[in-house]
Structure 1
Amino acid sequence: MMTTGTALKLWALDAPTMDLDAGDLVVGASGKVTFPLPAFLIQHDRALILFDTSFSPVLNENPYDYFGDFAAVANVQTNPGQRIDRQIASLGFRIEDVTHVVLSHTHSDHSGGLYLFPQAKFYAGPGEFDWARAPSAETAHLFRYSDDLEPVRFFDWTTLEGSSQDLLGDGSITILHTPGHTPGELALVVKLPSQTIVLTGDTVHLRVGYDMMSPDPHDWDKTAAVASIGILKKLEAEGARIWIGHDPGDWAAFGGPLVGLE
């Protein structure tokens, strides 16, 4: 019989931001949006789990070294203190304390810090790495395979089988397959003592996309993406809170970076 447990605490790590037209993130949206590029840390009494790793620390040190002139075009804002290793240290942990890393998908704003955690167990969605090796011309700029993914291919990876996986076997943290943005897109359901939060990854990019059930124009499969938004809506109807990682309004609603939620 499965026991039901909870995680202890969840933090959004302080993140770089950039500016884009909302229509680049959600079909039918308009206006300029300044959005975060985050990672999340979850403390459990038996584990320390990362959901995504944001960009490579190279970006935090100098966005122009990483992006060139695009850093100015997109108004990339960051600083060395936002490196994921320093964010984890600011909460009193060592990077060696991280036991599990769940990768929502392989785009560089989610996979850039994977290499920092060779001791961890890693989780990815089905078909994700095969797809990342040969992206379409329209999405190739979203990857840095040789920098972010090639160095970690011999780490301890588990590929999700089926639609979900109970990460620790106690019901506290559940990985969900929510394909659409990419073939292996994953979301994470985190049960805390006082609330259940769903970290969406890029299942949906902005709250307006969630409300309209509208995909990203760069999605791998837009029909699947809309169906996956429906999975999130069902969880919300069952009482979970949905945290859309790139949505600035959601960050404000949940208290912003480094606020420990319980």
Structure 2
Amino acid sequence: MSNDTAVQLWALDGAKFTLDRGLLVVGGSGQLSLPVPTYLIRHPRGLVLFDTGLAPSAVTDPEGTYGELATLLGLEYTEDLRVDRQIEAAGFSPNDVTHVIISHSHFDHTGGISLFPNARFIIGAPDLPYAYWPMPAGAVFFRSADIEAARGFNWRPLTADLDLFGDGAIRIFQMPGHTPGNTSTLVRLQDRHVMLTGDTVHVPEAITAELPMPSDYSTLDAVHSIRRMKDIAHAHDAEIIIQHDFDHWNRLREIAKVSG
């Protein structure tokens, strides 16, 4: 194994949503079911978690945690789908996680933050204040309580792209638009590269037609970031994995089996 590659990548299971496709991409229509997964990356210098899924409290009290949004999204969420339970199912303890990459500060990515008090948290710098003061059109997607509970954690807000371990194995790229601090992460495995998009895109046509989400912070920045993501993926011959797409998630699960 080369020293400049991650060792293994797991596509962890998570909650499920059902919502109108038009909420995810300009011009979309019809109902769509989508996963809310997280990803675990083992590197010689640490165990890295990409996003944290939903808050554990939503398993038993979804409306108390997310209000009417839980019902509107048709939330399906059970105890075994909590991010800490998924990490344990992969053979690790949540205490083994050394780094947590938060692709952006929406509630379905920040819910498990409090489970990792000893980790270093990486997030695009503009997303921390934006989580408390979002634009009205996107305010429903934030749960500032997730971040408030972790105010004393080790946060490393990014103001530029970051090569996490300095070896090219895990590279975090700024992709503003969906939120002002949105990021995507390129993972180099032994035999392939994988681009974890976060929410730079939500559905395949957003990549091919370069279409933003209607409630994006900046539709112009969102389109520029989609183009940047495609260019980086092309340069590294990387597989683009749309986080909330079942086909992409299942494909990554197969890639993870091969690359493990």
Q: Which TM-score bucket, shorter chain as reference? A: over 0.9
Decide which structure has greater strand share. Answer: 2
Give the fraction of aligned pairs with identical amino acids, expressed as a percent: 40
Give per-residue Cα distances to partners, 1:22-68, cap 9 Å, x unaligned: 11000112221100112111011220001110110112334344345
Partner of 1:109: 108
Cα distance in 1 for partners of 2:51, 2:69 equals: 23
Which range moves more in the overlay, 57-66 or 194-203?
57-66
Higher mean C-alpha displacement, 92-101 vs 249-258? 249-258
- The one-letter code matched in structure 2 to 1:14 is D
Structure 2, gaps ≥5 residues long: none
State the shift of 1:256 in Å: 6.7
Stretch deviating more after TM superposition (84-93 or 61-70): 61-70
Whether contact under 8 Å (2:53, 2:112) holds in the other structure is yes
List aligned pairs for 1:42-191, cutoff 5 A: 42-68=41-67, 70-145=69-144, 147-162=145-160, 164-191=161-188
Aligned residues: 258
CA distance in 1, matches of 2:42, 2:241: 17
Change beyond 3 A, Cα 1:54–1:257 = farther
Question: Partner residue of 2:212?
Answer: 215
CA distance in 1, matches of 2:70, 2:259: 32
Kindly indicate whether the alpha-carbon contact (under 8 Å) linking 1:12 and 1:39 is maintained by their aligned counterparts in 2. Answer: yes
**Pair 257,134 (structure 1): closer, same or farther in 2 beyond 3 Å:** farther
**Is the 2:190–2:259 Cα contact (8 Å) retained in structure 1?**
no
Q: In structure 2, what is the Cα distance between the partners aligned to 1:196 and 1:211? A: 20
Whole-Å separation in 2 of the counterparts to 1:260 and 1:83: 25
Q: Secondary structure at the match of 1:176?
A: strand
- Range with greater deviation from structure 2 (96-105 or 65-74): 65-74
What TM-score does the superposition give when structure 2 sets the normalisation length?
0.93
Give 1:235 deviation, angstroms.
2.3
Q: How many Å apart are 1:258 and its aligned residue? A: 8.0
- The 8 Å contact of residues 47 and 97 in structure 2, kept in 1 or not, is answered as yes
Whole-Å Cα distance in 2 between the matches of residues 59 and 75 of structure 1?
A: 13
**CA deviation map 1:169-222 (0-9, x unaligned):** 111100110000011001111000011001000111111211110000110010
Contact 1:9 1:260 in 2 (8 A): no
CA shift, 1:155, in A, is 1.0
Counterparts of 2:92 and 2:153 in 1: how far apart (Å)?
Answer: 21
Hey, which bits of structure 1, 4+ residues long, moved more than 6 A?
Answer: none
Q: Which amino acid aligns with 1:252?
A: N
**1:197 aligned partner:** 194
Contact 2:12 2:40 in 1 (8 A): yes
1:13/1:258 Cα in 2 relative to 1: closer, same or farther (>3 Å)? farther
Aligned residues of 2:37 and 2:244 also touching (Cα < 8 A): yes
CA shift digits 1:104-158 (9 cap, x unpaired): 111110001111111111111121111111112221111111x201111221111
